């Protein structure tokens, strides 16, 4: 079942900043988002729960040092994914 991806304003800003700084990251981000919509627990994403100040959120890999932070939510009576942030490991954690 494909889930809807709901980008937050913070996600859009962080993704724009990331791709402006590193244009090659745009392709990695696009591939990871497509996989995330299809299967959030695909092995290539290395999806994991977060702890501490980000408890309740999840993260997945979109390349060597690229991460996407998100939450599983309900939207219009269906499962969806709220995208919270994108960036390097150090930027999002």
pLDDT digits (tens, 9 = 90+) for 15-63: 999 999 999 999 999 999 999 999 999 999 999 999 999 999 999 999 8
Give the domain range for residue 67: 4-92
Residue 69 above 80 pLDDT? yes
Tokens in use for 66?
Answer: 């690229």
- Kindly tell me if the per-residue pLDDT of 4 is higher than 80: yes
**Which pLDDT band holds residue 90 (cuts at 50, 70, 90)?**
very high
* Whole-number Å distance between alpha carbons of 65 and 1: 28
> What pLDDT score does 47 carry?
98
Domains identified in the chain, total number: 1
Report phi then psi at 78, rounded to 5: -130, 160
User: Distance between CA 13 and CA 17 in Å, rounded?
Assistant: 6
Q: What CATH number does the domain containing 10 carry? A: 3.30.2310.20
């Amino acid at each position: 079942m494909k889930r809807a991806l709901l980008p937050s304003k913070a996600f859009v800003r962080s993704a724009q900043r990331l791709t402006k700084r590193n244009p090659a990251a745009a392709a990695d981000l696009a591939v990871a988002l497509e996989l995330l919509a299809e299967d959030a627990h695909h092995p290539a994403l290395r999806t994991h729960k977060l702890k501490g100040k980000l408890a309740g959120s999840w993260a997945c890999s979109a390349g060597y040092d690229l991460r996407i932070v998100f939450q599983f939510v309900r939207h219009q009576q269906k499962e969806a994914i709220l995208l919270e942030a994108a960036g390097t490991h150090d930027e999002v954690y």
